[in-house]
Copies of this chain bind each other. A is one copy, B any other.
Protein backbone atom coordinates (compact mmCIF):
# COMPACT_ATOMS: atom_id res chain seq x y z
CA UNK A 1 0.00 0.00 0.00
CA UNK A 2 1.10 3.58 -0.45
CA UNK A 3 2.02 5.75 2.51
CA UNK A 4 -0.97 7.96 1.62
CA UNK A 5 -3.36 4.98 1.77
CA UNK A 6 -1.90 3.88 5.06
CA UNK A 7 -2.20 7.33 6.63
CA UNK A 8 -5.71 7.90 5.28
CA UNK A 9 -7.07 4.58 6.50
CA UNK A 10 -5.26 4.75 9.81
CA UNK A 11 -6.79 8.17 10.46
CA UNK A 12 -10.27 6.99 9.43
CA UNK A 13 -9.99 3.96 11.74
CA UNK A 14 -8.71 5.93 14.73
CA UNK A 15 -11.57 8.39 14.24
CA UNK A 16 -14.07 5.50 14.39
CA UNK A 17 -12.56 4.28 17.65
CA UNK A 18 -12.50 7.77 19.11
CA UNK A 19 -16.16 8.36 18.21
CA UNK A 20 -16.94 5.26 20.28
CA UNK A 21 -15.07 6.59 23.32
CA UNK A 22 -12.40 3.93 22.89
CA UNK A 23 -9.24 5.53 24.24
CA UNK A 24 -5.82 4.51 22.92
CA UNK A 25 -2.46 5.62 24.29
CA UNK A 26 -0.13 7.56 21.99
CA UNK A 27 2.03 4.45 21.69
CA UNK A 28 -1.01 2.39 20.65
CA UNK A 29 -1.95 5.00 18.04
CA UNK A 30 1.58 4.77 16.70
CA UNK A 31 1.47 0.97 16.63
CA UNK A 32 -2.02 0.82 15.11
CA UNK A 33 -1.90 -1.76 12.33
CA UNK A 34 -3.28 -1.43 8.82
CA UNK A 35 -3.12 -4.84 7.11
CA UNK A 36 -3.53 -5.03 3.35
CA UNK A 37 -2.56 -8.72 3.28
CA UNK A 38 -0.16 -7.94 0.45
CA UNK A 39 -3.10 -7.46 -1.97
CA UNK A 40 -2.68 -3.70 -2.25
CA UNK A 41 -6.41 -3.04 -2.38
CA UNK A 42 -7.13 -1.86 1.13
CA UNK A 43 -10.59 -0.40 0.62
CA UNK A 44 -11.76 -3.82 -0.60
CA UNK A 45 -9.64 -6.31 1.36
CA UNK A 46 -7.96 -5.32 4.57
CA UNK A 47 -8.20 -4.98 8.30
CA UNK A 48 -7.20 -2.33 10.81
CA UNK A 49 -6.41 -3.28 14.38
CA UNK A 50 -4.91 -2.47 17.70
CA UNK A 51 -3.51 -5.27 19.85
CA UNK A 52 -3.98 -4.39 23.51
CA UNK A 53 -2.30 -7.42 24.98
CA UNK A 54 -0.78 -10.64 23.68
CA UNK A 55 0.73 -12.82 26.38
CA UNK A 56 1.57 -16.53 26.16
CA UNK A 57 -2.08 -17.19 27.06
CA UNK A 58 -4.39 -14.35 26.20
CA UNK A 59 -4.76 -11.81 23.41
CA UNK A 60 -7.20 -8.90 23.05
CA UNK A 61 -7.58 -6.67 20.02
CA UNK A 62 -10.04 -4.18 18.62
CA UNK A 63 -10.58 -4.58 14.89
CA UNK A 64 -11.85 -1.84 12.61
CA UNK A 65 -13.43 -2.61 9.26
CA UNK A 66 -14.13 0.10 6.72
CA UNK A 67 -17.52 0.08 4.98
CA UNK A 68 -17.82 -3.16 2.97
CA UNK A 69 -14.19 -4.10 3.69
CA UNK A 70 -13.40 -7.84 3.83
CA UNK A 71 -10.98 -9.74 6.05
CA UNK A 72 -10.06 -12.63 3.76
CA UNK A 73 -10.68 -16.33 4.43
CA UNK A 74 -8.17 -18.00 6.73
CA UNK A 75 -7.76 -20.39 9.62
CA UNK A 76 -5.57 -20.73 12.68
CA UNK A 77 -3.76 -24.08 12.51
CA UNK A 78 -2.27 -26.25 15.25
CA UNK A 79 0.84 -24.69 16.76
CA UNK A 80 3.83 -25.99 18.70
CA UNK A 81 2.07 -25.08 21.96
CA UNK A 82 -1.65 -25.70 21.28
CA UNK A 83 -4.32 -26.82 18.80
CA UNK A 84 -4.48 -23.36 17.22
CA UNK A 85 -5.82 -19.93 18.12
CA UNK A 86 -9.35 -19.73 19.53
CA UNK A 87 -11.03 -16.37 19.06
CA UNK A 88 -14.30 -14.69 19.93
CA UNK A 89 -15.52 -11.78 17.83
CA UNK A 90 -17.83 -9.33 19.59
CA UNK A 91 -19.41 -6.67 17.42
CA UNK A 92 -19.26 -3.23 19.08
CA UNK A 93 -20.42 -0.98 16.27
CA UNK A 94 -21.89 -1.44 12.79
CA UNK A 95 -22.67 -4.86 11.40
CA UNK A 96 -20.46 -7.80 10.49
CA UNK A 97 -21.21 -10.62 8.07
CA UNK A 98 -19.15 -13.57 9.25
CA UNK A 99 -18.78 -16.79 7.26
CA UNK A 100 -17.62 -20.05 8.76
CA UNK A 101 -17.47 -23.73 7.85
CA UNK A 102 -20.81 -25.52 7.71
CA UNK A 103 -23.96 -25.56 5.63
CA UNK A 104 -23.88 -22.88 2.94
CA UNK A 105 -26.44 -20.15 3.73
CA UNK A 106 -28.81 -19.12 0.96
CA UNK A 107 -29.51 -15.46 0.18
CA UNK A 108 -26.31 -14.36 1.83
CA UNK A 109 -25.97 -10.73 2.89
CA UNK A 110 -22.40 -10.40 1.62
CA UNK A 111 -20.35 -11.69 -1.27
CA UNK A 112 -16.59 -12.23 -1.56
CA UNK A 113 -14.67 -9.33 -3.05
CA UNK A 114 -15.34 -9.16 -6.79
CA UNK A 115 -12.67 -11.00 -8.75
CA UNK A 116 -11.47 -12.99 -5.71
CA UNK A 117 -14.37 -15.47 -5.53
CA UNK A 118 -12.16 -18.51 -6.06
CA UNK A 119 -10.40 -17.86 -2.74
CA UNK A 120 -13.58 -18.01 -0.66
CA UNK A 121 -14.91 -21.48 0.15
CA UNK A 122 -16.99 -21.28 3.37
CA UNK A 123 -20.45 -19.71 3.38
CA UNK A 124 -22.25 -20.50 6.62
CA UNK A 125 -23.46 -17.03 7.57
CA UNK A 126 -23.43 -15.47 11.04
CA UNK A 127 -24.61 -11.87 11.27
CA UNK A 128 -23.28 -9.87 14.20
CA UNK A 129 -24.94 -6.68 15.36
CA UNK A 130 -23.60 -4.61 18.28
CA UNK A 131 -23.52 -6.75 21.43
CA UNK A 132 -23.53 -10.01 19.47
CA UNK A 133 -20.56 -12.35 19.34
CA UNK A 134 -19.34 -15.65 17.95
CA UNK A 135 -16.47 -17.96 18.87
CA UNK A 136 -14.21 -19.48 16.19
CA UNK A 137 -12.51 -22.62 17.40
CA UNK A 138 -9.05 -23.61 16.12
CA UNK A 139 -8.44 -24.72 12.56
CA UNK A 140 -11.82 -23.46 11.27
CA UNK A 141 -11.93 -21.49 8.02
CA UNK A 142 -13.62 -18.11 8.32
CA UNK A 143 -13.87 -14.68 6.69
CA UNK A 144 -15.86 -11.57 7.41
CA UNK A 145 -17.05 -8.36 5.85
CA UNK A 146 -18.46 -5.14 7.29
CA UNK A 147 -21.78 -3.74 6.18
CA UNK A 148 -21.91 -0.32 4.52
CA UNK A 149 -21.59 1.28 7.96
CA UNK A 150 -18.19 -0.28 8.67
CA UNK A 151 -17.67 -2.08 11.97
CA UNK A 152 -15.71 -2.19 15.18
CA UNK A 153 -15.16 -5.68 16.61
CA UNK A 154 -13.48 -6.74 19.84
CA UNK A 155 -11.49 -9.94 19.56
CA UNK A 156 -10.80 -12.02 22.67
CA UNK A 157 -8.47 -14.95 21.99
CA UNK A 158 -5.68 -17.23 23.00
CA UNK A 159 -2.16 -16.16 22.02
CA UNK A 160 -2.04 -14.53 18.61
CA UNK A 161 0.57 -15.63 16.09
CA UNK A 162 -0.66 -13.93 12.92
CA UNK A 163 2.33 -15.17 10.97
CA UNK A 164 1.05 -18.75 11.31
CA UNK A 165 -2.41 -18.05 9.83
CA UNK A 166 -3.24 -20.03 6.70
CA UNK A 167 -5.06 -18.06 4.00
CA UNK A 168 -7.06 -19.67 1.21
CA UNK A 169 -5.73 -17.09 -1.25
CA UNK A 170 -2.11 -18.08 -2.00
CA UNK A 171 -1.28 -14.51 -3.01
CA UNK A 172 -1.81 -13.36 0.57
CA UNK A 173 1.02 -12.44 2.85
CA UNK A 174 -0.26 -11.54 6.33
CA UNK A 175 3.00 -9.98 7.44
CA UNK A 176 4.35 -8.21 4.34
CA UNK A 177 8.08 -7.65 4.45
CA UNK A 178 9.20 -4.04 4.50
CA UNK A 179 10.35 -2.88 1.05
Q: A residues bordering B, Cβ < 8 Å?
A: 20-25, 28, 52-53, 55, 57-60, 86, 88, 90, 92-93, 130-133, 135, 154, 156-158
What are 10 A-B residue pairs whose CB atoms fall within 8 Å in the complex?
Answer: A21-B92, A23-B130, A23-B131, A53-B90, A53-B135, A57-B86, A58-B58, A58-B157, A60-B60, A60-B88
**A60-B88, A156-B60 known; A135 vs B21 contact (CB < 8 Å):** no
Docked pose: A20 CA to B17 CA in angstroms: 12
**Residues from chain B with Cβ under 8 Å of A130 in the complex:** 23
Q: Which residue of B lies closest to A59 (CB)?
A: B156
Docked pose: A90 CA to B154 CA in angstroms: 13
A52 contacts B92, C-beta separation under 8 Å: no
Docked pose: A55 CA to B57 CA in angstroms: 13
A132 contacts B25, C-beta separation under 8 Å: yes
**A58-B58, A58-B86, A58-B88 known; A52 vs B21 contact (CB < 8 Å):** no
Q: How many copies does the complex hold?
A: 2
A53 contacts B156, C-beta separation under 8 Å: yes
Q: Which residue of B lies closest to A87 (CB)?
A: B58
A90 contacts B58, C-beta separation under 8 Å: no
**Residues from chain B with Cβ under 8 Å of A158 in the complex:** 57-58
